[in-house]
């Protein structure tokens, strides 16, 4: 047991949303803080052990029990309640790369929505095997929080460590690939094991059929590979009566308007029964649309005859850029998968639909003539951006249009991009006016704006009242074609515009300075 010294603000207004709970290496450094008081907590020590022998010491803020799993990382800044309850994380020890976790607590994990689903979570329980963070915040503040992350983890008996160098750990996974490891407490030995050797889909799937949105006009059969709650919500919201069925359900015997195959954990090739069931649907004359997400993308591709493979480190986060290969449209997506589909192995009649702009991996496929399509990313978000939520609308539109509909006919049209305006000279308005006694700061944004314009071969006119900002930057002096040391006011800006006749104006300052220019 180790005593960890912590600090928090004594000013109530500063405590709201304050990030605390950092392990202190030099106590005297904290004692010099006049607005902080010290307190301590006792934390059980444990070790993170990788399969290559790497050991990292950490401090427990979850359940004190040893556990093994696959080490993965998520780059999202927020959304740990949703991430921890995502069934796609079954069997994995999750590393959160954002350095401070827990400062907004946890919402009511038992509260249900109108469908009887956990309102703030993505499944009935925490799905990860363990959690790793750099700093844990013992203090939390959020209007919707009812408990701390620590309390929630202990209630669900999930181990978690803070004090882990998550930056170094993430680099190890990035450079060497996803690794196996374990969280080990003294006196609780556990063997490292690979969860991907198990059929994880079978572990997280429902054991019986459940119906949501009963009475809605469109019947959608959703194969539960580890479905997130928000997928069900979005389908019901669009008029679907969702029949959630087990992963190994015989699909040819069911009557439905559309077939949905959900996200889920693990190696898709181990779900042989599901692959065979989907293959029968794809090869039949059934006209009903098929839509798959994440694991659903992999299952559909395998059923069509393509091949899957394990990604070096997987894509897990909320800012993955994806391109529609047909229209060139770009979207920011939430993702959580460790396996991918080889686009080159797609059989005739199938084509890639989406591609990852970072690593070029497949992000979705479509049939060229039949209403079958998939997405490797998560259009339902929770957490993450909602750029691609329209895919649920596309699925419902396919159902409503019937046999004559094609996948591209229900996708958003390629947006019109107007021709680029011809610009040769730009007026850059730098940092705002300085009053007597006010410290002058280097106009970094103005300098960067000049560099950006130069890269476009544009002439630049810098209007900046802060002489020191330009004179102290040797490169900056030579960057702008013309420099005016004048107050940034409507009168002087108008005079400069008349003298220089720029094609455009770029404001590199913001806030109150911008409001001064409003006429």
pLDDT in tens, 194-247: 999 999 999 999 999 999 999 999 999 999 999 999 999 999 999 999 999 999
Query: How far is 289 from 395, CA to CA, in rounded Å?
Result: 7
Q: What does the chain come to in residues?
A: 519
Range from 236-245, 359-368, 447-456, 507-516 carrying the lowest mean pLDDT: 507-516
What average pLDDT does range 7-15 have in this prediction?
Answer: 39
pLDDT digits (tens, 9 = 90+) for 149-172: 999 999 999 999 999 999 999 999
Q: In the prediction, which pLDDT does 32 show?
A: 37
CB 386 within 8 A of CB 318: no
Q: In the prediction, which pLDDT does 509 show?
A: 62
CA 23 remoteness from chain centre: 27
Three-state DSSP at 151 gives: helix
Contacts for 432 with CB less than 8 Å, ≥ 6 apart: 465, 488, 509, 512, 513, 516
CB 150 within 8 A of CB 138: yes
Q: In the prediction, which pLDDT does 469 show?
A: 57
Query: How far is 492 from 486, CA to CA, in rounded Å?
Result: 7
Q: Is the pLDDT of residue 30 over 50?
A: no
How crowded is the C-beta side of 21, counted as CA atoms within 13 Å? 29
Tell me the pLDDT band of 450, cut-offs 50, 70 and 90. Answer: confident
Tell me the pLDDT band of 454, cut-offs 50, 70 and 90. Answer: confident
CB 72 within 8 A of CB 45: no
What average pLDDT does range 172-192 have in this prediction?
Answer: 95
Q: In the prediction, which pLDDT does 107 show?
A: 97
What average pLDDT does range 334-347 have in this prediction?
Answer: 98
**Which ranges of 333-485 does DSSP label H, i.e. alpha helix?**
390-401, 444-455, 467-471, 474-479
Give percent of the chain with pLDDT exceeding 70.
Answer: 85
Q: What is the DSSP letter of 57?
A: E
pLDDT digits (tens, 9 = 90+) for 495-516: 999 999 999 998 876 544 444 5
Instruction: Note if 294 is an active site residue.
Output: yes
pTM, two decimals, is 0.81
Tell me the pLDDT band of 433, cut-offs 50, 70 and 90. Answer: very low
Range from 39-48, 124-133, 310-319 carrying the lowest mean pLDDT: 39-48
Of 18, 225, 294, 514, the catalytic one is 294
Please provide residue 124's backbone torsions phi and psi, each rounded to the nearest 5 degrees: -75, -15
What average pLDDT does range 87-98 have in this prediction?
Answer: 98
- Render the burial of 140-173: b for 16+ CB within 10 Å, e for the rest: beeeebeebbbebbbebebbbbbbbebeebbebb
* 334, containing H or E segment: strand 330-341
Range from 69-73, 254-258, 471-475 carrying the lowest mean pLDDT: 471-475
Q: Is the pLDDT of residue 399 over 70?
A: yes
What average pLDDT does range 342-348 have in this prediction?
Answer: 98
Please provide residue 280's backbone torsions phi and psi, each rounded to the nearest 5 degrees: -60, -40
């Amino acid at each position: 047991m180790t005593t960890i010294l912590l600090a928090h603000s004594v000013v109530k207004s500063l405590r709201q949303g304050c990030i605390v709970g950092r392990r202190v290496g030099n106590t005297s450094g904290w004692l010099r803080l006049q607005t902080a008081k010290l307190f301590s907590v006792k934390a059980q020590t444990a070790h993170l052990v990788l399969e290559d022998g790497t050991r990292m010491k950490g401090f427990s803020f979850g359940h004190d029990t040893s556990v093994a799993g696959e080490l993965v990382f998520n780059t999202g800044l927020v959304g740990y309640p949703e991430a921890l309850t995502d069934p796609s994380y079954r069997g994995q020890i999750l590393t959160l790369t954002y350095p401070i976790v827990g400062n907004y607590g946890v919402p009511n994990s038992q509260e249900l929505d109108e469908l009887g689903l956990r309102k703030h979570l993505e499944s009935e329980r925490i799905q990860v095997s363990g959690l790793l963070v750099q700093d844990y915040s013992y203090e939390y503040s959020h209007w919707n929080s009812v408990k701390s992350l620590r309390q929630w983890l202990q209630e669900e008996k999930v181990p978690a460590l803070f004090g882990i160098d998550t930056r170094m750990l993430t680099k190890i996974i990035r450079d060497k690939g996803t690794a196996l490891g374990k969280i080990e407490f003294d006196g609780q030995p556990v063997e490292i094991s690979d969860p991907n050797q198990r059929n994880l889909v079978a572990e997280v799937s429902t054991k019986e059929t459940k119906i949501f949105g009963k009475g809605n006009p469109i019947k959608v059969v959703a194969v539960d590979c580890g479905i997130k709650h928000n997928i069900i919500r979005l389908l019901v919201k669009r008029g679907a009566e969702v029949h959630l069925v087990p992963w190994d359900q015989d699909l040819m015997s069911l009557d439905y308007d559309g077939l949905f195959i959900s996200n889920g954990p693990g190696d898709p090739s181990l779900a042989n029964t599901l692959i065979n069931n989907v293959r029968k649907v794809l090869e039949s004359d059934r006209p009903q649309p098929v839509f798959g997400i994440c694991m659903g993308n992999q299952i559909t591709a395998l059923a069509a005859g393509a091949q899957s493979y394990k990604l070096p480190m997987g894509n897990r986060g909320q800012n993955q850029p994806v391109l529609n290969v047909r229209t060139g449209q770009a979207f920011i997506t939430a993702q959580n998968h460790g396996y991918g589909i080889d686009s080159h192995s797609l059989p005739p009649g199938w084509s890639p639909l989406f591609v990852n702009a970072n690593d070029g991996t497949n992000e979705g496929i479509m049939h060229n003539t039949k209403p079958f399509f998939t997405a490797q990313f998560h259009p339902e978000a929770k957490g993450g951006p909602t750029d691609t939520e329209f895919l649920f609308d596309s699925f419902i539109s396919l159902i409503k249009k019937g046999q004559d509909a094609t996948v591209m006919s229900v996708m958003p049209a390629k947006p019109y991009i107007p021709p680029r305006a011809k610009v040769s000279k730009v007026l850059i308005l730098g940092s705002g006016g300085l009053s007597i006694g006010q410290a002058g700061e280097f106009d970094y944004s103005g300098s960067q704006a000049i560099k950006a314009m130069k890269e476009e071969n544009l002439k630049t006119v810098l209007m900046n009242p802060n002489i020191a900002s330009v004179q102290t930057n040797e490169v900056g002096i030579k960057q702008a074609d013309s420099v005016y040391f004048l107050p940034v006011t409507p009168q002087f800006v108008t005079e400069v515009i008349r003298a220089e006749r720029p094609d455009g104006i770029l404001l590199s300052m913001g806030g109150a300075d911008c409001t001064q220019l409003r006429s």
